[in-house]
Structure 1
Amino acid sequence: MAESAVSIVLGNVNALAVRETTMLCCVTLEVELLKDELKRLRGFLRDADNKWRRGDESTAVLVGQIREVAYDADNAIEAAEYMQKRNRLKKGFMGTISRYARLPSDLTNLHKVGVEIQRIKRKISDIFESANRLKIVDLGNTSTENLQVDGELPQEYGPMHQNFEDVVMVGFEDDYQEIVGKLLDKGDSLSVVSLVAMGGAGKTTLARKFYTSTSAKQHFEIVSWVTVSQKYKGIDLLKDILKQITGSTFRSADQMQEYEVAKMIHDFLSQKRYLVVLDDVWETDTWEILNRTTRAFPDAENGSRILITTRKEDVANHVQMPTHVHPLKKLDEQKSWELFSSKALPSYKRSVIHDVDEFEKLGRKLARKCGGLPLELAVLGGYLSKNLNAQTWSDILLDWPSTKNEQMMRNMLARSYWDLPNHYLRSCFLYIAAFPEDSMVYVSDLTQLWIAESFIPHIPNHTLEETAYKYVTELVERSLVHAVETSMGGGRIAIIRIHDILHDWCKEEARQDGFLDGVDKTTGRAGAQLSSANLASYRSTFQSLSNVILPGAPNVRTLFGFQLESVSLPRLRFLRVLYIEGSTLRDFSTVIGGCIHLRYLKLHCCGGVMLPSSIGQLLYLQTIDLRDTKLDSQVPQSLWEIPTLRHVYLTDGFSPPPPARSVRQQHKELQTLFWDVSDVGSECCYHDMEILLGQMGQLTTLFLVMSPMPSEVFNILAHMPHLVDISLSNFGVLDKLPAELPRGVKRLRLCAHVIKQDPMPILEKLHYLVVLDLSGYEGQTMFCSAQGFPRLQELKLVGFSTDDWRIEVGAMPKLSDLTLRECNRKLPEGFLHLPSLNHLMLYRMPQISEDDNTLKELERKGCQVESL
């Protein structure tokens, strides 16, 4: 990944040359010369990196030096650019002077930058000398990988992903039904169902399939999932369960003793039917450890269940209560082929393959080699789907080593990893190792992180977010990550997960490469000690530690922290990414203002957070995400002066914008605004926000919650023509909707206490609308015309009490999912005119009986009806 570091720096320098050619003044020439040296350095690096990976340890030092000098160059160049950015935002007389002339302090700083660049160039010269002594070859611009122009991925022929959970169910339908039967049987006593199989056999997938099913949600009042793995602490698992079942962060649990947590779990569950999933249990005494102080999981004789997945049969048999052990068999030859072919030869690719029969013949032989393991079949299939060359398939079959399954899996992962089209995508894949095992990773978070790290190249006519999403789909297609959930209606991948075997491989590869270090509750070691001896890491992730002082290495660029009871940040001058979740921060406000290179700041479910006014000095900040974090201060006005903001998520701490005459910053980059100010409780705050929102004409996503929401907010939407995703909540009484809304909107959520006028005649004209979530209409009639809602796929209506809902033939031709919640009416006969309706969900609608004629006719036509 050292080549990735050099390429990232070169990309930043090129972007700098486009944006700020004049700003570097006396160091412009130095930067151009440095860029040439870095290009030449990249040619040497390719050979050095290859030799190091083949076992030549003498080149490891050189690889580390090249990475270090690349990042030093990035820091130096950006320091000069920062001065220009800062001067442009200065106001008054000094602002005018700094924008058109050079202040003595600026000249001094620019001189320091020039001196630093000279130092870096001397280090590069030393590296060249070392390379010559080590006989490192300059490979120049010749590429050792399949790198498309500008980093763009090859175009696919059809659908870009399949849901892994659905694909891997091939061959396990009977197993799944048996497991469901045991979990939902009528026995009242608390009992255990254990899935037993080797790694990669599909245990977790089957467990999660049930855990997320409607059947589980209907049958159990409380559900909780924790991943145990080989290294764990009982109290940490109990705290995680407590937070899940109480439905909140429950921060006080962090200070509680183990017996107190266990007792709270016991008391909370004693009156409820619950399901607790213990995934990936390795030790026989895990159940005893979880119940050693107080029996955490009571037997209330109400049919509660424990579901365990494990690789060891003795673990499954050790639990001292009624237990059903289900050994998960490997797939037979035919099922193995079905799973393999679904990945390697999907239907949309078969049509363009010249000789499908030859590929099927080779594919069946390769599928047999995988020994019936779903993960191995999926990863190999994903790899071969990108290499539709009969010779490649034949070579793999001939070279198939006679090794154990575990080593074969590792070999296959390495092959798939190095087959990724470019080093940008390899960096993106390894980056997932920063998240805890079995995490549900939101694609929006991941893509914004990749962009902040400069892993996403600029491609003409594509936004960075679009390219990043292509990278996600590429990883899913190759089965290196799994699509867990897609977005409503649009079908875009929303959440991914990486299998624990792949996660372990990623962690090891990232550590050995010096790409990322990890420290958790079981290691207790400093991050730098975990990486290869000669490759210092610039990224670290910390999990489940107490009283942590994160490393103070001056060149650290990325820090992740998960469930850190109390964490102190050192002064990190070159920090680009800070991602902290479920932690209490100390002295945050005194540190963050000095992180002038910061691109990404996420503090999720954290305490002790105060945003200082110096937050406005973070002139490279792209994403700030403070959802579910309680601020100890208001959001400073200076935040809105940052010109590079792309995504803003705030749920607490409202601060009005500065007066109109001082608002000069047009938010040309801002795409996402998520703002929950419901706690403010006053309409007047909207008028303070109106000026600021008026500067956000490029927004594509607006999520706004106020109590109450004023109807004047619709006036602002008229000035946001690029909106595709709108969510406006907590209107009071809304007389009617505006005659026009942004024409390109695809997802719309409007939540009101009362809507007086029928909203459908206006909303059905939104020709691109795919998802509609509407609540509060209390009119007597509702009408959907024959040409209305041409693209609508999902419709959710809450709290409707119309007497007459008429749906003409031809309305909503693509509607597939319909949800009605607390709607005081019968089902209209117009539902039978909806040709694509295949799923109807009814929440809290007791007036709808099983004898309802419309309901029976829908079921007869194949529509799945569920009621909660």
Structure 2
Amino acid sequence: MAESAIGSVLGNVSTLAVQETTFLCGVNLEVGFLKDELQRLKSYLKSADAKRRSGDELVATWVSQIRDAAYEAENAIEAADYMEKRNRLKKGFMGAISRYARLPSDLITLHTIGAEIQRVKRKINEIFDSANRLKINLDTSDVEKVHIEDEYPQDYGTMHQNFEDINLVGFGDEYKEIVGKLVDKKENITLSVVSIVAMGGAGKTTLARKVYTSSSVKQHFEATSWVTVSQKFKGIDLLKDIMKQIMGSRDESIAKMNEYEVGKEIHDFLLQKRYLVVLDDVWETDTWDQINKRVKAFPDATNGSRVLLTTRKEDVANHVQMPTYVHHLKKLDEVKSWELFSCKALPSYKRSVIRDVDEFEKLGRKLAKKCDGLPLALAILGGYLSKNLNAQIWYDILSDWPSTKNGQMMRDILARSYKDLPNHYFRACFLYLAAFPEDYIISVSCLIELWIAESLVPHTQKHILEETARNYVTELAQRSLVQVLNRSRAHGWIERIRIHDILHDWCTEEARQDGFLNAIEKTAGQATASSSSDNLISYRLSFQTLIDQTLPATPNVRSLLGFKLESVSLPKLRFLRVLCIEKSTLQDFSSVIGGCIHLRLLRLTGCDSVTLPSSIGKLLYLQTIDIRNTILLSLVPNSLWDIPTLRHVYLDSEIKCSPTAPARSVRLQPKELQSFVLDLAPVGADFRFHDLMIFLGQMNQLTTFSLSMYNNIPAEVVNIFDNMPHLVDISLYKFDVLHMLHAGFPQSIRRLHLHANVIKQDPMPILEKLPCLVELLLSGYKGQTMCCSSQGFPRLQELALDRFSTEVWRMEEATMPKLFHLSLWRCFKMSELPVGLLHLPSLGHLQLCYMPQISEDDITRKELQQKGCEVETRG
């Protein structure tokens, strides 16, 4: 995507320090010239795009040359900027010289940069000459919006649809039938299978997930797990995933277990439990046999345990050697098709502003009928049309409707919806989803950090980058281009998404043809970094299932992503901007990473034996470092804290910090730090916690803060929040004794998790005054009484109390008016539920965990159930 390349380069170059100096010997003038030339080239691209898509290979080559030139220009400009940043950070005598004069090494670097810029200028001139020969015209019409304006208020209220419920439209009866087959105790009590069979896009996974998350299923089964099988799977990986879900095992505890060991652990754990295992998207008839081939992992204790299976193939459903109920998911009829389509295309909050709703309904019913009962087609087309409430557009689509099979119909709908995305930034963000494996559950926060590191999110005056990116995710969900798996109750925003297989295949092909990204899913010896077109260079590569080799990549690669790679080595990639490796073993990492001076994002999650070199401090553009669940062999270098651009730092899974870290915080640079997650391994007595407090005290832009310590957190940590007015998310684990809570929690806080062995004073009088608090988890209060005052906790929706010794819990009227979910864990001295719960108007779900003293005959419990509150017990 050449437009994306030029847009990101122009946005990035505008922020570089090279613009601010007068010491770069004319380089800053050349930078201005390159910006103007790239802006002019961008105006030719719309005219060229139509010719490229029609199959004109010469134009396709020309477009790729523009992208190459843009990236080469950025590399040269950033090299100059890097030199300037590095000199500003130098200390002492040499630092003074480098700021007011030029060292010989700097002059050599500037000469090299100047020569490179001249080469790029010649290349751009040749591109302009080619435009004339190819008859590509300047196009200044239809200027794209840079960003999405807010369509709704940021307080996520009723206008924001529940996408999961909408996608279930038309399947209500089938939902009830399948739930009944799973939980009915009168049915076969032996281990049996319920299979949902239908073609791609028919709604199998949506229906199965709604069944899986239903309250009746959750209460009926003592252990549940969901795994997506897909076309490429390993039995050992599925079993490990199931084990983690049902037993809560961490990655490192099972990483070295073989298939027999994992299977036996699962068998022994499930032997006395009623369980449900969901196998989503099964392709092969022998899948069940493969995951049970060495040991019978899933025992039949004749207690009503079940397997729920979804597949496109009926022979897969019939092959399982167990009692099987096969449910053929039918296409939606005309009435249900219109119901789903209208929820997407004409939602209730938009109908009031449409002049002639009847005309849209008439056209919409005809369009819905054309989708042949496929929920995915109905949802995507409806999402597209909801953004184009123009009767002529609807009529034109109906007139031009392709008379082809479902596969081509889906491709045409997808292409139309993709082209309708508001701008090239947005289209690039959507195509970026091809970087993830099929059926991958995507963390929205991690995705946004990738988008920002790639400069795919534009700077705007109204919003910080993360806010704009979250608007993008919401828009993609409204258009049904991604599936929403869950939202944050505290913030309202979407937390996890996945992309349907059909959309993933389309994105992968489009990204490869565009030269935007190449996803490689071959085994060792077969992988190649070349794109589908010989004249395109892949600047972004995503690898999966490679074994024992150096990752193949061209020297100009800007982004490298890898998933479940076994023993791979990184090549030297001078211009790398993004390195994201998950659940892999890396060789020679420390010797390569220090030279990647352009790096914006470093994410190594679930990896083995990683060493962070001291040279990491040279990565002066680094925005995100994420090494969660990774085995780190080294201390975290102090040089990390000198990086001025850090926005998100995740150092958990028992990270080892040096005793003085971050002792150099007195000259700390990363003032824009927004997320800070630190999980400290056991530390010695010489750990300078005071330095950590100084470090944190300077972080006045933080929005997310999480601190976990093997040794107890000193009580004075609660005093550091006075200087953090933007904090919305705090997690602290764990204190030894807190005599009382500090009243200085920021008023902006929406989620607070606080664990202590002992909290001596009632925490509620302090916490109930926080006006924005939505989610609260507290552990360790040892007082006998607790009081929640009238008007307290005005926005609290979720409350979890763990190991409270409270005997009396008083709740005044009008307290916690929005509380929906209450969890009580191990509050053994609470012999009966407080009567005040009956006066909470919004309470809909009560969870009692390891509280056998609260019987089913508890009066308050019975009355809550009579009012419609769902009561769930565990342990």
TM-score between the two structures when normalised by the length of structure 2: 0.94
Matched ranges for 1:275-314 at <5 A: 275-314=276-315
Q: Distance between the aligned counterparts of 2:371 and 2:861, measured in 1?
A: 46
Distance 1:865 1:25, change over 3 A: farther
Shifted more, 838-847 versus 519-528: the winner is 519-528
Distance 1:181 1:24, change over 3 A: farther
Aligned partner letter, 1:488: R
Distance 1:215 1:698, change over 3 A: same
Q: Distance between the aligned counterparts of 1:368 and 1:152, measured in 2?
A: 31
Matched ranges for 1:822-841 at <5 A: 822-824=826-828, 825=830, 826-841=832-847
Distance 1:519 1:206, change over 3 A: same
The equivalent position to 1:697 in structure 2, one of 697, 700, 707, is: 700
- 1:806-828 deviation line (CA, Å, top 9, x unaligned): 11112122222222222231211
Question: Residues 332 and 375 of structure 2 are in contact (CA less than 8 Å); yes or no, is this contact kept in structure 1?
Answer: yes
User: Any gaps of 5 or more consecutive residues in structure 2?
Assistant: none
User: Any gaps of 5 or more consecutive residues in structure 1?
Assistant: none
Q: Distance between the aligned counterparts of 1:9 and 1:649, measured in 2?
A: 27
Question: Residues 193 and 323 of structure 2 are in contact (CA less than 8 Å); yes or no, is this contact kept in structure 1?
Answer: yes
* Structure 1 residue 293: Cα displacement: 4.5
1:680 counterpart = 2:705: no
* Structure 1 residue 667: Cα displacement: 2.7
Q: Match of 1:4? A: 4
1:859 counterpart = 2:860: no
Aligned partner letter, 2:100: Y
Shifted more, 34-43 versus 226-235: the winner is 226-235
Q: Match of 1:486? A: 487
Distance 1:261 1:805, change over 3 A: closer
1:441 counterpart = 2:442: yes
Aligned partner letter, 1:714: V
Q: Match of 2:124? A: 124
Distance 1:123 1:839, change over 3 A: same
Q: Distance between the aligned counterparts of 2:192 and 2:261, measured in 1?
A: 24
Matched ranges for 1:412-811 at <5 A: 412-521=413-522, 525-651=526-652, 652-657=655-660, 663-680=666-683, 684-706=687-709, 707-811=711-815
Q: Match of 1:820? A: 824
Shifted more, 290-299 versus 204-213: the winner is 290-299
Question: Residues 193 and 324 of structure 1 are in contact (CA less than 8 Å); yes or no, is this contact kept in structure 2?
Answer: yes
Distance 1:713 1:852, change over 3 A: same
* Structure 1 residue 410: Cα displacement: 1.0
User: Secondary structure of 1:673's match?
Assistant: strand
Shifted more, 572-581 versus 825-834: the winner is 825-834
- 1:777-811 deviation line (CA, Å, top 9, x unaligned): 11121111112112222211111121221111121
- 1:214-262 deviation line (CA, Å, top 9, x unaligned): 4444444443333232344445544544555554455686667666665
Matched ranges for 1:265-276 at <5 A: 265-266=266-267, 269-270=270-271, 272-276=273-277
Q: Match of 1:147? A: 144
* Structure 1 residue 644: Cα displacement: 0.2
- 1:368-392 deviation line (CA, Å, top 9, x unaligned): 2222211111111100100011111
Q: Distance between the aligned counterparts of 1:582 and 1:160, measured in 2?
A: 39
- 1:44-103 deviation line (CA, Å, top 9, x unaligned): 333222211111122121122111111101111001000111111111111122122221
Question: Residues 20 and 81 of structure 1 are in contact (CA less than 8 Å); yes or no, is this contact kept in structure 2?
Answer: no
Distance 1:370 1:859, change over 3 A: same
Q: Distance between the aligned counterparts of 2:743 and 2:665, measured in 1?
A: 33
Tell me the percent identity.
68
Distance 1:845 1:254, change over 3 A: closer
Q: Match of 2:36? A: 36
Distance 1:184 1:664, change over 3 A: same
* Structure 1 residue 42: Cα displacement: 1.5
Matched ranges for 1:19-418 at <5 A: 20-22=20-22, 24-139=24-139, 141-143=140-142, 147-148=144-145, 150-153=146-149, 155-156=151-152, 161-186=160-185, 187-242=188-243, 244-245=245-246, 247-248=248-249, 250=251, 265-266=266-267, 269-270=270-271, 272-418=273-419
Aligned partner letter, 2:419: W
Q: Distance between the aligned counterparts of 2:256 and 2:868, measured in 1?
A: 52
Distance 1:497 1:270, change over 3 A: same
- 1:714-771 deviation line (CA, Å, top 9, x unaligned): 2211222221211112111111111332122121111111111111111111112122
- 1:600-653 deviation line (CA, Å, top 9, x unaligned): 111111112000000100000000011111210110000000000000001112
* Structure 1 residue 522: Cα displacement: 5.5
* Structure 1 residue 858: Cα displacement: 2.1
User: Secondary structure of 1:650's match?
Assistant: strand
Q: Distance between the aligned counterparts of 1:351 and 1:718, measured in 2?
A: 45
Aligned partner letter, 1:464: L
Shifted more, 272-281 versus 665-674: the winner is 272-281
User: Secondary structure of 2:227's match?
Assistant: strand
Number of residue pairs the alignment of both structures matches: 864
User: Secondary structure of 1:857's match?
Assistant: helix
* Structure 1 residue 160: Cα displacement: 6.4
Distance 1:822 1:521, change over 3 A: farther
Distance 1:251 1:811, change over 3 A: closer
Q: Distance between the aligned counterparts of 1:266 and 1:729, measured in 2?
A: 33
Q: Distance between the aligned counterparts of 2:682 and 2:332, measured in 1?
A: 54
Question: Residues 334 and 373 of structure 2 are in contact (CA less than 8 Å); yes or no, is this contact kept in structure 1?
Answer: yes
Shifted more, 812-821 versus 550-559: the winner is 812-821
User: Secondary structure of 2:326's match?
Assistant: strand
Question: Residues 249 and 605 of structure 1 are in contact (CA less than 8 Å); yes or no, is this contact kept in structure 2?
Answer: no
Shifted more, 108-117 versus 716-725: the winner is 716-725
Distance 1:259 1:744, change over 3 A: closer
* Structure 1 residue 404: Cα displacement: 1.0
Q: Distance between the aligned counterparts of 1:48 and 1:247, measured in 2?
A: 54
* Structure 1 residue 863: Cα displacement: 2.2
User: Secondary structure of 2:359's match?
Assistant: helix
Aligned partner letter, 1:854: T
Q: Distance between the aligned counterparts of 1:48 and 1:147, measured in 2?
A: 16
Q: Distance between the aligned counterparts of 1:119 and 1:334, measured in 2?
A: 63
User: Secondary structure of 1:846's match?
Assistant: coil
Question: Residues 513 and 531 of structure 1 are in contact (CA less than 8 Å); yes or no, is this contact kept in structure 2?
Answer: no
User: Secondary structure of 2:529's match?
Assistant: helix
Distance 1:700 1:230, change over 3 A: closer
Aligned partner letter, 1:147: E
Question: Residues 163 and 482 of structure 1 are in contact (CA less than 8 Å); yes or no, is this contact kept in structure 2?
Answer: no
Q: Distance between the aligned counterparts of 1:222 and 1:685, measured in 2?
A: 44
RMSD across aligned positions (CA): 2.3
Q: Distance between the aligned counterparts of 1:661 and 1:679, measured in 2?
A: 21
